Amino acid sequence: MIFRPVNIGPVHLPYPLMQAGLAGYSDRAMRLVARRRGCPYAVTEALLDVILLNGGKGLKQSIDINDEDHPIAGQLIGSEPKQMARAATILSSAGYDVIDVNLACPVKKIRNKARGGHLLSDESTAIDMLKAVRDALPARVPTTLKIRRAYDDSAESHEIAERLLHTAFSCGYAAAAVHARTVEQKYGGKASWDFLRKLKRRYPDNIIFGSGDVFDAASAVAMLKKTGVDGVWIARGAIGNPWIFQHAIQLLNGVDEALLNPPTVHEQREALMEHFLEAMQIHGEQLAGRRMRKMGIRYARFHPESQRVKDAFINVLSLRDWQKVLDQYYKVDGPGVWPGAATVDLVNECAA
């Protein structure tokens, strides 16, 4: 067997798969559409601690979660250990099952404020932060961290990241998700799965999730096989592809890759409609329209007339526009297509 179920403290995942934190994408709408297609666990985008401490003013969406949106990790990003600890208690009281600390975001506006990935070059603050968050929560609430393999490719930088991981596990963190790129790499270049494989060998008794270059169900399963990590964090590969979870589950259950089917046109229509309606509930119609354009463009890669559908989604402003695209291109059912390899070209930013 190439996979085992995973436990993050008391949180049980029947399959070692999760939907990543993805700023600007992984809101409740994206999470629910994925969960209904097999996703066993999801992480919020990075939430800025000071915003939570100020009552949530300035957050792009409420931190409320509904019954269907579990198990869920609330991910925090910040620069000051005590503030992060207080923000962790806010998320925990709001019902998040796991609290995740972001030591990974490479975006400059975050780094300039000594948050996220920047903390990989400020070891003592990162250690204080990890400990403060852990100490602030009752033992029953698991904490996890998201980290890059290092800040840069220097030996010193790798040693710091390793010490941070070691500290996290020794003070009771239940799991670490490791993005196998350096902070300096941002989202470009290749993720080093070899690094993940060696890391997992050094931490056989700790839960390590792998992140980086998981663009379809086959690569999710390949990461498990090649690196031995305990779970796979599915990020860009999940944008506009909520079926990636059910496909990965099929592969984990021994189905041959050649027997997987892309979503039919009607299955795509169903997910697209569901996604827009959920997004509208969270953001209102106008903002949902803006956010969903980029989603629609990603979904379009499974459509037989992919380019035309993309062009149509670009102009969407409202639910009516969205429905018009669905009526024009998704009315007649038929087989979907597998996207070509070159379609995961979006790269970008953590908006936190």
Ligand X SMILES: Cc1cc2nc3c(=O)[nH]c(=O)nc-3n(C[C@H](O)[C@H](O)[C@H](O)COP(=O)(O)O)c2cc1C
Q: Which residues lie near ligand X (CB under 6 A)? A: 20-24, 45-46, 75, 102, 104, 146, 179, 187, 191, 211-214, 233, 235-237, 347-350, 352
Among residues 35 and 146, whose Cβ is nearest to ligand X? 146
Taking the complex as a whole, the smallest distance from the CB of residue 274 to ligand X amounts, in Å, to: 22
Among residues 46 and 90, whose Cβ is nearest to ligand X? 46
Select which of 39, 105, 171, 350 is catalytic. 105
Taking the complex as a whole, the smallest distance from the CB of residue 233 to ligand X amounts, in Å, to: 6
Find tokens 């010193």 and name the residue. 156
Find tokens 């990241």 and name the residue. 161
Taking the complex as a whole, the smallest distance from the CB of residue 215 to ligand X amounts, in Å, to: 6
Tell me if 352 sits within 8 A of 244, measured CB to CB: no
- The yes-or-no answer on residue 39 being catalytic is no
Taking the complex as a whole, the smallest distance from the CB of residue 192 to ligand X amounts, in Å, to: 12
105: left (phi over 0), alpha (psi -120 to 50) or beta: beta
Q: How many CB atoms within 10 Å of residue 154? A: 12
How far apart (Å, rounded) are the C-alpha atoms in residues 240 and 33?
A: 10
The candidate with the shortest Cα–Cα distance to 149, out of 244, 82, 229, 226, is 229
Percent helix, strand and coil across the chain, each to the nearest 5: 45, 15, 40
Taking the complex as a whole, the smallest distance from the CB of residue 243 to ligand X amounts, in Å, to: 16
Taking the complex as a whole, the smallest distance from the CB of residue 308 to ligand X amounts, in Å, to: 25
Among residues 26 and 326, whose Cβ is nearest to ligand X? 26
Chain residue at closest Cβ approach to ligand X: 21
Helix (H, G, I), strand (E, B) or coil at 234: strand
Among residues 151 and 330, whose Cβ is nearest to ligand X? 151
Among residues 127 and 180, whose Cβ is nearest to ligand X? 180
Answer positive or negative: Cα dihedral of 88, 56, 18, 216: negative
Taking the complex as a whole, the smallest distance from the CB of residue 19 to ligand X amounts, in Å, to: 9
How many residues are listed for the chain in this entry?
Answer: 352
CA distances 111 to 103, 183, 292, Å, are 10, 10, 28
How far apart (Å, rounded) are the C-alpha atoms in residues 173 and 9?
A: 9
Among residues 71 and 330, whose Cβ is nearest to ligand X? 71
For 93, residues 6+ apart whose C-beta sits below 8 A from its C-beta are none
Find tokens 């925990």 and name the residue. 92
How far apart (Å, rounded) are the C-alpha atoms in residues 76 and 143?
A: 11
Strands (E), 16-82: 17-19, 42-43, 47-48, 72-77
Q: Which amino acid is at 255?
A: V
Among residues 144 and 250, whose Cβ is nearest to ligand X? 144
Known catalytic residues? 105
